[in-house]
């Protein structure tokens, strides 16, 4: 069963400004060493060694010479290829491993360069093949001697004590109705988080949108927990149904303010306005507070928001602010911009949280890599960016394997909307040291399995938004997370990891720092 958890994310895209040691016999040990004299005699008697190949081999010799000198504490001896690792030199070992890998790639390229003479070509390829094999052995020895999880993939210090926050001190009978219309669920969640920030700045109680015109937020978020974490005298976050009961069905929005004026006020069409009115709301036409284009948002300050959106009216509505750029460093900091007494203010519904833990205990274990592999609708989006963020499957597989090697993970949790043809090819290419690294997806419901029993018992199993949040939660609990650059689905996972303190130094976007090795022409 293919999980199209993020097929709803067609518009959930954002532009981001960032993305066992081998044994050798005495006879083989001599042949394993770097045959400088032997090479010299071969080259002088057989053919004149070309400079470009000398430059391909020379860096490896320098690296090996460095490690066999006394000052390097005899990290390894080429005569026996025995590695003696000093735990106090992890950084230099990691550097050596990086250089050796680069050397291996260079040697592989040199091996593919054609020569004029067949014998020369055979001799050179044989030489390069031996050196590539030796290089690989050294890498494996270094890898086996290091604990990469502890050395390079520790958690990020989020410096939560240095957070900049605002107290949410809502006034009684002062309300703010959140309106979110841009994109799908991930966009709406970000929009709602920003409305919470606005409500705190304006000292108002925030009204969560009705599920009749928006998503059912209490299915995916722990709303009650938010109020408990704030420890305020007033309940500052209420449902639309609660607001309706307070106003006894006489609901009037005194002012409907728009953050964005273009391409249309509040990014609202008449259909959505009519839906709002069908809830029993009376209101005036949406009014922009300034000229702001949703396609080119300006950076705004806290003072800008307070000065333009502060009114004495009892009920305000503010249009979609997903694209609003207000104090971005403040809003995006770990823990969020609002003062609270919990590790994180906004987190998944408790049922989803427990289900994610049970799934991990059943299928994944403690040490696993999570991959958000966004594909549906991503080719056109990414190719509209410079550079593109849509990678061919073989290139993506190579990037993923480098992370898996670093983490030494047994499995990869796959959160994707990709077709089976793509995931099948990806799985066939994920081989590390001769071992296939399984891609694990959530299986279809099976009554013999109990990990998802909570969702089933509460009748929310099968809800696309619940399943999407479950995917996010599992990814957020991984040892290392590989995300999709430009996706708000990935952005929400990264927020959770920062807030929970699970963000790793090895977290990255897929093929971060690389460009696709091929990009299709645009129409």
Rounded CA-CA distance 496/488 in Å is: 12
- What is the CATH code for 350-509? 3.40.50.11350
Rounded CA-CA distance 105/178 in Å is: 54
pLDDT tens for each residue of the chain, 523 residues long: 444 444 444 444 444 433 333 333 333 333 333 333 343 344 344 434 444 444 445 555 554 444 444 333 333 332 332 333 344 445 556 666 766 776 777 677 666 766 676 666 666 766 676 677 667 656 655 654 544 444 468 888 877 778 899 999 999 999 999 999 998 999 999 999 999 999 999 999 999 999 999 999 999 999 999 999 999 989 999 999 999 999 987 899 999 999 999 999 999 998 999 999 999 999 988 999 999 999 999 999 999 999 999 999 999 999 999 999 999 988 888 889 999 999 889 999 999 999 999 999 999 999 999 999 999 889 998 988 889 999 999 999 999 999 999 999 999 999 999 999 999 999 999 998 889 999 999 998 888 899 999 999 999 999 999 999 999 999 999 999 999 999 999 999 999 999 998 999 999 999 999 999 999 988 7
Question: In which residue are the tokens 């991984």 written?
Answer: 478
Q: Which pLDDT score is estimated for 42?
A: 40
The DSSP symbol for 444 reads P
Burial 348-362 (b: 16+ CB within 10 A, else e): bbebbbbbbebbbee
Strand 175-178 versus strand 299-300 pairing type:
unpaired
Cβ-in-10-Å burial (0-12, 13-18, 19+) of 235 comes to middle
* pTM score over 0.85: no
Q: Which pLDDT score is estimated for 156?
A: 86
Rounded CA-CA distance 258/265 in Å is: 6
SS3 content of the chain, % helix, strand, coil (to 5): 45, 10, 40
Give the distance, in angstroms, between the CA of residue 456 and the centroid of all CA atoms in the same chain: 29
CATH of 175-332, one of 1.50.40, 3.30.1490, 1.20.1440, 3.40.50: 3.40.50
The DSSP symbol for 64 reads H
Cβ-in-10-Å burial (0-12, 13-18, 19+) of 177 comes to buried
Domain with CATH 3.40.50.11350 in the chain: 350-509
């Amino acid at each position: 069963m293919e999980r199209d958890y993020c097929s709803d994310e067609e518009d959930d895209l954002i532009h981001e400004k960032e993305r066992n040691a081998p044994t050798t016999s005495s006879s083989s040990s001599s042949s394993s060493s770097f045959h400088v004299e032997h090479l010299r005699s071969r080259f002088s008697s057989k053919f004149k060694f070309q400079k470009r190949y000398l430059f391909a081999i020379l860096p490896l010799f320098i690296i090996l010479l460095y490690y066999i000198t006394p000052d390097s504490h005899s990290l390894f001896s080429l005569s026996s290829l025995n590695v003696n690792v000093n735990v106090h030199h992890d950084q230099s070992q990691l550097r050596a491993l990086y250089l050796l890998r680069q050397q291996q790639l260079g040697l592989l390229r040199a091996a593919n360069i054609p020569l004029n003479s067949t014998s020369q070509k055979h001799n050179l390829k044989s030489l390069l093949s031996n050196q590539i094999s030796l290089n690989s052995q050294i890498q494996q020895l270094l890898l086996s001697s290091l604990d990469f999880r502890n050395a390079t993939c520790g958690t990020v210090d989020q410096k939560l004590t240095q957070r900049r926050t605002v107290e949410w001190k809502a006034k009684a009978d002062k309300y703010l109705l959140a309106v979110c219309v841009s994109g799908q669920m991930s966009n709406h969640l970000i929009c709602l988080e920003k409305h919470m920030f606005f409500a705190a700045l304006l000292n108002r109680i925030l009204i969560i949108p009705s599920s009749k015109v928006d998503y059912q937020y209490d299915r995916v978020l722990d709303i009650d927990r938010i109020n408990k974490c704030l420890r305020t005298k007033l309940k500052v976050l209420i449902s639309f149904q609660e607001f309706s009961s307070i106003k006894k069905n006489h609901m009037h929005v005194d002012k409907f303010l728009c953050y964005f004026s273009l391409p249309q006020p509040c990014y609202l069409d008449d259909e959505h306005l009519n839906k709002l009115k069908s809830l029993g709301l009376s209101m005036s036409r949406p009014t922009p507070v300034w000229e702001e284009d949703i396609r080119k948002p300006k950076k705004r300050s806290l003072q800008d928001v307070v000065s333009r959106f502060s009114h004495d009216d009892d009920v305000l509505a503010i249009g979609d602010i997903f694209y609003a750029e207000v104090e971005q460093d403040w809003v995006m900091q770990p823990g969020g911009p609002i003062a609270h007494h919990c590790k994180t203010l906004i987190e998944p519904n408790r049922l989803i949280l427990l289900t994610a833990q049970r799934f991990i205990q059943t299928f994944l274990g403690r040490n696993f890599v999570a991959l958000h592999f966004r594909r549906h609708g991503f080719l056109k989006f990414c190719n509209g960016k410079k550079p593109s963020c849509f990678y061919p499957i073989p290139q993506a597989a190579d990037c993923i394997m480098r992370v898996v090697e670093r983490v030494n993970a047994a499995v990869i949790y796959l959160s994707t909307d990709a077709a089976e043809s793509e995931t099948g090819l990806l799985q066939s290419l994920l081989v590390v040291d001769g071992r296939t690294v399984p891609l694990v997806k959530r299986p279809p419901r099976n009554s013999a399995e109990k990990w998802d029993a909570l969702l089933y018992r509460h009748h929310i199993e099968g809800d696309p938004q619940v399943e999407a949040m479950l995917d996010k939660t599992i990814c957020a609990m991984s040892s290392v997370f590989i995300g999709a650059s430009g996706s708000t689905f990935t952005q929400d996972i990264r927020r959770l990891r920062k807030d929970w303190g699970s963000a790793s130094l090895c977290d990255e976007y897929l093929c971060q720092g690389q460009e696709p090795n091929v990009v299709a022409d645009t129409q």
